[in-house]
Amino acid sequence: MERLGLGPDSQVVEVASNDGYLLQYFPHGIVPLGTEPAANVARDAEARGAHRVEFFTADLARQLVDDGRSADLIGKQRAGTGAESLRDFVEGLRILLKPAGVITLEFLHLLQLMDGNQFDTIYHEHYSYFSVCWPPSASSQRTDSP
């Protein structure tokens, strides 16, 4: 909170927040917003604060900005898994984030998923999966300066 300069007037949004579990931990009077398309799961989230029962899209981001909810912080676990269109999802993040805002995204680590047999993290309702494999191999690193 201190490092990001978040306080009571800050706007925090968790995209596809499921039951809103993470949203309950924002102190300092921050009322975070969660978006979740599954109405049965979102019912639990509504008890924890503001919630929108719909997919996160560029159109929803525009509505939130029009409602004064431009975000200082956007969080998303397993980024992109529930997005029907990755392009629209990323565009929504761009629209919603304030110029000095921060986005934190969690991606699956494919190697850890396979090594640890963590296949219980894959769900049929997800449209796609994106993985970050870090560190990059030496052969994929650029040798020229950017």
Kindly indicate the confidence band of residue 126, based on its pLDDT and cuts at 50, 70 and 90. Answer: low
Q: What whole-number distance in Å separates Cα of residue 27 and Cα of residue 17?
A: 18
Secondary structure class of 15 (helix, strand, coil): strand
Q: What is the mean pLDDT of the chain?
A: 79
Partner residues linked to 104 by β-bridges: 75
pLDDT tens, residue by residue, 30-60: 888 888 887 787 777 777 666 788 888 999 9
Where do runs of H (alpha helix) occur along the chain? 39-46, 58-66, 86-96, 110-115
Q: pTM here?
A: 0.76
Kindly indicate the confidence band of residue 129, based on its pLDDT and cuts at 50, 70 and 90. Answer: low
Q: Cα–Cα distances in Å, from 5 out to 15, 47, 72, 94, 100?
A: 21, 26, 9, 20, 11
Least confident among 8-17, 39-48, 121-130: 121-130
Between 84 and 11, name the one with better pLDDT: 11
Q: What pLDDT sits at residue 101?
A: 96
